[in-house]
């Protein structure tokens, strides 16, 4: 099909030109004496993205899920109790991986569309006088439902209870797009990946680890080999890796971080909020609702949109792809057929969001879903103009 494909799934996201060009390099010598001059500053700048001063960031050749495995196997022992809330496909998979590694998983099931139940966590942590919980797991941004959770509140619950459990956060679809503060929130392991906010191809698990979590590895009895922090620590300190690093991905990561820091992280977050808000205005104008049940849970990186009873969101996503060359996210698991998702993160601007909205609108109308022609597009357009160009013109006048 001629023309560009609209890629509006919540990862992989669109890869900016500077990152694509950075990938296109001849293979490098991974033991070259000048490699550390490139890798050591890269590790340093990664800390800025995680907002950590003392934490260490590891890069594993893997998708984001490998970061989950690294987090648990390096810090926990078989039978260790962990606390996690399950409210979407990603928190579900994370809990499942914990169980498969022989952890004792205390799962709190929450309706899909809500976030981490902080009050329930607080009660459980207070009641746990023997400190049986070794880790509390928080999915910062549940990509399946477009729900963001309050990590700082979970940290407060831990502190209020005087509980020493480690705090793990899955920030795969939030880091570098939604504000994340590793040190301030006392996060011990933060898992991310290359193909979402970092605007790169899939292939790097990017894991931030606190000094407390690094210390926990000494007593951690789970089996680990490929994902062992120990081997990374020994070699990373001199700018090298325990096995062949994907150097082209490291070059791409450099380009990505350069873009993020040049724009300014706070500006990146504000852009994501604004673009997301335009999408939310469109959803409201269509007369539809988000899967996220309250504004405090609205994700700025992905919107899961509930379609009316009697329609199938999988058919809608398929039609958008076949007819308009537009990739939208399908509903997963419990919300399969019920929601479609617009991923609005990474290398994105207003016009690109308008493309996703116009395409969604056309596809919905094609399938007979009762939305008024142009309604969502008009609402987003007004919001983007009002808060963007129009606001700038008023300021200049």
Ligand X SMILES: *Cc1c(COP(=O)(O)O)cnc(C)c1O
Taken in order 349, 5, 143, 364, is the CA torsion positive or negative?
positive
Instruction: Tell me which residue of 101, 103, 187 sits closest to 140, measured CA to CA.
Output: 187
Count of residues in contact with ligand X, rule CB under 6 A = 13
| Least distance between ligand X and beta carbon 146 (Å) | 11
- 197 touches ligand X by CB under 6 A: no
- 11 touches ligand X by CB under 6 A: yes
Extract the tokens encoding 360.
Answer: 């969604």
Q: Is the peptide bond before 12 cis (omega within 30 degrees of 0)?
A: yes
Name which of 202 and 355 has its Cβ closer to ligand X. 202
Among 63, 235, 325, 387, binds ligand X (CB under 6 A): 63
By CB under 6 A, what part of segment 161-190 binds ligand X? 170, 172-173
Name which of 329 and 376 has its Cβ closer to ligand X. 329
Name which of 30 and 63 has its Cβ closer to ligand X. 63
Name which of 276 and 379 has its Cβ closer to ligand X. 276
Q: Which residue is nearest to ligand X (CB)?
A: 64
Q: Any idea of the CA torsion for 214, 215, 218, 224, to the nearest 10 degrees? A: -20
Name which of 140 and 217 has its Cβ closer to ligand X. 140
By CB under 6 A, what part of segment 311-370 binds ligand X? none
| Least distance between ligand X and beta carbon 301 (Å) | 9
Name which of 169 and 380 has its Cβ closer to ligand X. 169
Contact mark string toward ligand X, 223..262, x via CB under 6 A: ----------------------------------------
Helix (H/G/I), strand (E/B), else coil: 108: strand
- 7 touches ligand X by CB under 6 A: no
Contact mark string toward ligand X, 24..43, x via CB under 6 A: --------------------
Name which of 65 and 387 has its Cβ closer to ligand X. 65
Extract the tokens encoding 50.
Answer: 């995680």
Taken in order 64, 65, 71, 74, is the CA torsion positive or negative?
negative
| Least distance between ligand X and beta carbon 198 (Å) | 11
How far are the Cα atoms of 57, 188, 190 from residue 45, in angstroms, in the given order? 10, 19, 16
Among 55, 146, 193, 331, binds ligand X (CB under 6 A): 193
On whether the CB atoms of residues 191 and 93 are closer than 8 A, the answer is no
By CB under 6 A, what part of segment 256-315 binds ligand X? none
- 64 touches ligand X by CB under 6 A: yes
Count CA atoms closer than 13 A to 28's CA, side-chain side. 22
Name which of 174 and 360 has its Cβ closer to ligand X. 174
Q: What is the DSSP string of 323-381?
A: HH-EEEBPP-GGGTTTEEEEE--SS--HHHHHHHHHHHHHHHHHTT----TTHHHHHHH
Among 74, 143, 149, 303, binds ligand X (CB under 6 A): 143
Extract the tokens encoding 207.
Answer: 């894991």
* Burial class of residue 370 (count of CB atoms within 10 Å of its CB; 0-12, 13-18, 19+): exposed
Extract the tokens encoding 248.
Answer: 């082209």
| Least distance between ligand X and beta carbon 361 (Å) | 25
Among 39, 139, 256, 303, binds ligand X (CB under 6 A): 139
On whether the CB atoms of residues 10 and 343 are closer than 8 A, the answer is yes
| Least distance between ligand X and beta carbon 169 (Å) | 10
How far are the Cα atoms of 61, 83, 88 from residue 98, in angstroms, in the given order? 21, 10, 16
- 77 touches ligand X by CB under 6 A: no
Name which of 75 and 194 has its Cβ closer to ligand X. 194
Q: What is the DSSP string of 111-170?
A: -BTB---HHHHHHHHHH-TT--EEEEEEESEETTTTEE--HHHHHHHHHHTT---EEEEE
Name which of 180 and 324 has its Cβ closer to ligand X. 180
Applying CB under 6 A, the residues found at the interface with ligand X are 11, 63-65, 90, 139, 141, 143, 170, 172-173, 193, 202
């Amino acid at each position: 099909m001629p023309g560009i494909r609209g890629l509006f799934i919540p990862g992989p996201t669109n890869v900016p030109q500077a990152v694509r060009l950075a990938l296109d390099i001849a293979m490098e010598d991974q033991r070259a004496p000048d490699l550390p001059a490139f890798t050591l500053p890269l590790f340093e700048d990664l800390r800025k993205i995680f907002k950590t001063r003392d934490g260490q960031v590891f890069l594993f050749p893997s998708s984001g899920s490998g970061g989950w495995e690294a987090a648990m196997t390096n810090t926990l022992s078989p039978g260790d109790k962990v606390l996690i809330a399950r409210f979407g496909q990603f928190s579900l998979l994370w809990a499942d991986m914990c169980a498969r590694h022989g952890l004792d998983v205390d799962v709190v099931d929450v309706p899909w569309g809500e976030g981490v139940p902080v009050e329930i966590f607080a009660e459980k942590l207070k009641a746990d006088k023997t400190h049986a919980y070794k880790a509390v797991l928080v999915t910062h941004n549940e990509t399946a439902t477009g729900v963001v959770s309050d990590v700082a509140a979970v940290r407060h619950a831990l502190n209020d209870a005087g509980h020493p459990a480690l705090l793990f956060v899955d920030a795969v679809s939030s880091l570098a797009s939604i504000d994340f503060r590793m040190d301030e929130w006392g996060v011990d392991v933060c898992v991310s990946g290359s193909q979402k906010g970092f605007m790169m191809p899939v292939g790097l698990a990017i894991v931030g680890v606190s000094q407390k979590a690094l210390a926990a590895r000494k007593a951690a009895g789970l089996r680990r080999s490929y994902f062992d922090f120990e081997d990374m620590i020994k070699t990373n300190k001199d700018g090298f890796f325990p096995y062949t690093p994907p150097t082209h991905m490291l070059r791409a990561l450099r380009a990505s971080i350069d873009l993020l820091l040049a724009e300014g992280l706070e500006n990146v977050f504000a852009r994501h909020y604004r673009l997301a808000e335009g999408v939310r205005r469109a959803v409201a104008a269509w007369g539809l609702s988000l899967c996220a049940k309250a504004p405090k849970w609205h994700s700025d990186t992905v919107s899961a949109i509930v379609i009316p009873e009697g329609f199938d969101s999988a058919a809608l996503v398929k039609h958008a792809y076949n007819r308009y060359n537009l990739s939208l996210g399908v509903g997963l698991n419990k919300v399969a057929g019920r929601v479609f998702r617009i991923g609005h993160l990474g290398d994105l601007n207003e016009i690109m969001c308008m493309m996703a909205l116009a395409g969604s609108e056309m596809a919905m109308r094609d399938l007979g879903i009762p939305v008024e022609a142009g309604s969502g597009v008009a609402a987003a357009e007004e919001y983007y103009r009002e808060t963007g160009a129009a606001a700038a013109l008023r300021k200049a006048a």
